[in-house]
A and B are shown apart, each in its own frame.
Chain A
Amino acid sequence: MNVAVAKTGKARALSDLFASAEGRLPGSPDVIAVRREAFEAYERLGLPHRRIEEWKYTDLRALVGEVLPLAATPDAAALKRAADAVKAQAIDGARKLVLVDGVFAADLSDAASLGSEATITTLREMLGNAANPAAGDLLRTITTDAVISLNAAMATDGIVLSIAEGVELSAPVQIIHVATAASASAFTRSHVKVGSRARATIIETFVAAGQAGAYQVNDAVVLWVGNEADVAHIRLMDDAADAVNISSQFVTIGANTKLNVFSMTSGAAVSRLQGWITLAGEGSELSVNGVNLLKDAEHGDTTLVVDHAVPNCTSREIFRAVLDDRAHSVFQGRIIVRPDAQKTDGKMMTRALLLSDEAEADNKPELEIFADDVSCGHGATAGALDDSLLFYLKARGLPEKQAQALLIQAFVGEAIEQIADDGLREHVIGIAERWLERRQ
């Protein structure tokens, strides 16, 4: 890409965007300097496009075009609309932490009920604390690209959650992102630190309030899991049908930990979940699973790097995509096994189910193995529903769409059943069922 291309009208508009937003971006002068630097990095790159290898199948210049202006701070009416959405999305028993249009909404949240089990602050508060010389680090990540830089520059708020050593959370924490504005962007960044021997379930939900549409979400989560901890991280993205959701996850896992990650995509016109998970301590078990349910012309991308940096860890990845109409799914999964990471056991399986001749699935599994005593494997398939199974079900009285729905549920079930908690698993099955009902 040459400089002339980078400096298009859109790039200049973005500079205006940053300049106009700057007054609303929290941070001490040091933090603002980090933001400026990040924005300059973004400006040099522009939105990712197909000639950037990692974004080959998800050309944001073509799919999104431009970044929308920052959403206004939600007013009373917006918070009221958000409250209804929160009510609908709240998971029974979970403690809610709500971000509305990128701003923490204390009145809609249950922060106080966490008591001594965890400390919660907001990103806004942390960044604004001039006494904290390391505040700028909250905007730095182990790896970066244009959308991550943009997030660092523009993040207005987020949850900073710390669960102390040895604590077992008595209820899941649910971070709910609600969009109430149309044609605006929300940038959020959250940090979750789970102490050694702690047990926790963290749920993230993305949803639109009322008629909100055509908005853009750019979220980042930094998750740190201490030694011997046991953590489940469930992400449920059901943004508006014409919205954009780009999310980045940075996960570091200590020794002898168990981390179970699940992601469900059932909304947004364009979405990408990109994750970097580093196994940094020996003896840990990582399970990463996901389901993308895509219809119309939706584009859903899951890009994941699992980095075995130390020996004796296992990782399992099961991904399923269901594609109707002209939908397009992308799965890029890379397993890295560093030279010292002997006895690594890493497996990755991705399958796409195409319900229409016009749907498209791109699967790109990669293994980068630098150690010699490892067991690693991957598999990828794409195909239609099995006609002989469909006929069997129809011959037993199931109408076509219902027969399809039963087989699709079985297909995604292989990933969903990795969720250990019965209630959460049923909740996710319910999301898939409702998606399937809309087809009938």
Chain B
Amino acid sequence: MALLEVKDLQVRVEEREILHGLNLTVNEGEIHAIMGPNGSGKSTLSHVIAGKPGYEVTGGQILFRGEDLLEMSPDMRAAKGVFLAFQYPVEIPGVATMTFLRTALNAQRKARGESEYSTPDFLKKVREVSKSLNIPQDMLKRGVNVGFSGGEKKRNEVLQMALFEPSLCILDEMDSGLDIDALRVAADGVNALHSPKRAMVVITHYQRLLNYIVPDIVHVMSKGRVVKSGGKELALELEATGYAQFEDAA
């Protein structure tokens, strides 16, 4: 069974249709890249998979291990193993990072019927994970993303990914707002988390990110559909020719 199956997905925002019958299948362990010009619907796809309000699904379905994801609340999707790394992670003043991480991790475990972490066990786990990702302890002492640089925010997303151990990670424009060094650090974190059981869907506008996170399959989106899929060489081809050729194909 596929990990994620998006079938003929049609999505509206207010009165405008953004996705017009999108198909995508992701299996365990695969790294997919979704590329496409601005406005092609890449971020909409990631938001609909994660359950962000404001999108109306007018047709099609999204199955996660065969279960209807669209019937689940966003928190239930997270508990099932769907993780969206935000393009712009929000700052939450007054909520300590450690409190947030512990509350989220335990909420997911509770939803899955697993035992919650005690505070000492949780602290031990966070220390292990942050050490393996070279994340300074100081970052954990602040409010969630408060005063973080773009690079720190993305590293915090990677930290959460490592802590929550999702089976599907969707990285929405992870490269936006990052300089090349910060990008490399974040990408190293993502690569460290890739495993035969964990799939990644990397959404990006530029080929640059794919120098660091090498995809198995590249999809080109245009005007709300996947118009071409291929191997990693497709990304290089896009870099050379641009998206214009696909505008007509859509």
Contacts and interface: CB of A to CB of B under 8 A. Distances in A.
Interface of A: 386-389, 391-400, 402-403, 406-407, 409-411, 413-414
Given A398-B103, A406-B103, A392 B73 contact: no
Given A386-B90, A395-B75, A400-B73, 5 more contacts: A389-B92, A391-B74, A395-B77, A399-B73, A406-B95
Contacts of B73: 394, 399-400
Interface in B54-107: 73-75, 77-79, 84, 86, 89-90, 92-95, 99-100, 103-105, 107
Contact of B95 (A387, A395, A399, A410): A410
Interface of B: 50-53, 73-75, 77-79, 84, 86, 89-90, 92-95, 99-100, 103-105, 107-108, 111, 143, 160, 164
Contacts of B53: 387, 391
A409 B96 CA distance: 11
B216 to A, nearest CB: 25
Given A396-B78, A410-B94, A391 B111 contact: no
A414 to B, nearest CB: 6
A293 to B, nearest CB: 16
A397 B51 contact: no
A395 B50 contact: yes
List the 10 shortest-distance A-B pairs measured between CB atoms, nearest first.
Answer: A410-B94, A397-B108, A397-B78, A394-B74, A396-B104, A397-B107, A413-B94, A410-B95, A392-B90, A394-B75
10 contacts: A392-B89, A392-B92, A394-B74, A395-B51, A395-B75, A396-B78, A397-B75, A398-B75, A399-B75, A409-B95
Contact of B92 (A395, A397, A407): A407
Most chain A Cβ neighbours within 10 Å, of B75, B77, B78: B75
A392 B93 CA distance: 13
Contacts of A389: 90, 92
Contacts of A395: 50-52, 74-75, 77-78, 84, 86
A401 to B, nearest CB: 10
B203 to A, nearest CB: 15
A7 B202 CA distance: 77
B94 A397 contact: no
Contacts of A410: 92-95, 143
B107 A399 contact: yes
Contacts of B52: 391, 395
Contacts of B105: 397
A386 B90 CA distance: 11
A252 B105 CA distance: 49
Contacts of A394: 51, 73-75, 78
